[in-house]
């Protein structure tokens, strides 16, 4: 589990694709405390450390991961947002982020507003149906607050610090990003959806009969 507070950026030093992708990323000081098999959020996708050598971590993105995320767009020299899995002692400053990407969006517009910028992202229904104004959304691993919602997109306000501390400094209109909706909305939907599963109905009838 993550919080959406990016700890730092890594620089992609190599990408090898052969069905799946092998991503080698120079992570700098973030390598401290990370071991083989640990989970790391890479642009919002939870990946496992498969190889490591000093400050270089190697991740493998499976075909399913490449289909569902924008990780396949990464190339040598690109910046990647990184966050180590949270611990019980971690300050919870963002929102609950699982690292399970719900869809891929595209940067539609960037407009200055005062000292900040308003960024608009396209988003699939699997993200927008859980989105609410002033609610949380995860964009490339960054916990952000939704400013406004449109039929097929949403906007967020980006402060200068956020841009400087993340890969947003390297992105522009037309680039793709990983999106994860607020998990709380998913659980609320599940609880409110009628339980039509035959197995659940049968189980409930069995309990009633026993009583």
For each of the chain's 211 residues, which pLDDT tens digit applies? 899 999 999 999 999 999 899 999 999 999 988 999 999 999 999 999 999 999 999 999 999 999 999 999 999 999 999 999 987 777 777 898 999 999 999 999 999 999 999 999 999 999 999 999 999 999 999 999 999 999 999 999 999 999 999 999 999 999 999 999 999 888 888 888 876 555 555 555 444 444 4
Same domain, yes or no: 112 and 187: yes
Residue 114 CA to residue 14 CA, distance in Å, equals 38
What is the structure's pLDDT at 191? 85
Domain that holds residue 32: 8-84
Same domain, yes or no: 113 and 186: yes
| Maximum Cα interatomic distance, the chain, rounded to a whole number of Å | 66
Residue 211 CA to residue 200 CA, distance in Å, equals 17
Q: What residues contact residue 91 under an 8 Å CB cut-off, 6+ apart?
A: none
Residue 50 CA to residue 92 CA, distance in Å, equals 27
Same domain, yes or no: 184 and 109: yes
Position 39 in a domain:
yes
Same domain, yes or no: 68 and 112: no
Question: How far is C-alpha 43 from the chain's CA centre?
Answer: 6
Position 52 in a domain:
yes
CA angle 32, 35, 39 (to 5 degrees): 100
Q: Are 46 and 2 in contact (CB under 8 A)?
A: yes
Q: Are 9 and 30 in contact (CB under 8 A)?
A: no
What is the structure's pLDDT at 197? 55
Same domain, yes or no: 28 and 76: yes
- The CATH number for 117's domain is 2.40.30.20
What is the structure's pLDDT at 187? 86
Residue 96 CA to residue 86 CA, distance in Å, equals 10
Position 201 in a domain:
no
pTM of the model: 0.88
Same domain, yes or no: 138 and 79: no
User: And the tokens for 128?
Assistant: 């927008």
Same domain, yes or no: 142 and 188: yes
What is the structure's pLDDT at 145? 97
């Amino acid at each position: 589990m993550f919080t959406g507070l990016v700890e730092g950026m890594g620089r992609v030093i190599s990408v090898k694709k052969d069905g799946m992708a092998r991503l080698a990323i120079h992570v700098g000081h973030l390598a401290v405390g990370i071991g083989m098999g640990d989970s790391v959020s890479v642009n919002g996708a939870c990946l496992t450390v498969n190889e490591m050598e000093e400050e270089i971590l190697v991740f493998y993105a499976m075909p399913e991961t490449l289909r569902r995320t924008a990780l396949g767009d990464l190339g040598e020299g690109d910046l990647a947002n990184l966050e180590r899995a949270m611990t019980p002692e971690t300050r919870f400053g963002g929102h609950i982020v699982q690292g399970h990407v719900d869809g891929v969006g595209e940067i539609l517009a960037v407009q200055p507003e005062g000292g900040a910028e308003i960024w608009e992202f396209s988003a699939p229904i699997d993200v927008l149906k859980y989105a609410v104004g002033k609610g949380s959304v995860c964009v490339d691993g960054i916990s952000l607050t939704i400013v406004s919602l449109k039929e097929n997109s949403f906007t967020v306000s980006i402060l200068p610090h956020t841009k400087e501390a993340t890969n947003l400094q390297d992105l522009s209109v037309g680039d793709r990003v990983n999106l994860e909706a607020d998990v709380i909305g998913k659980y609320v939907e599940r609880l409110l959806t009628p339980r039509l599963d035959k197995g659940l109905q049968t189980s409930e009838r069995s309990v009633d009969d026993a009583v």
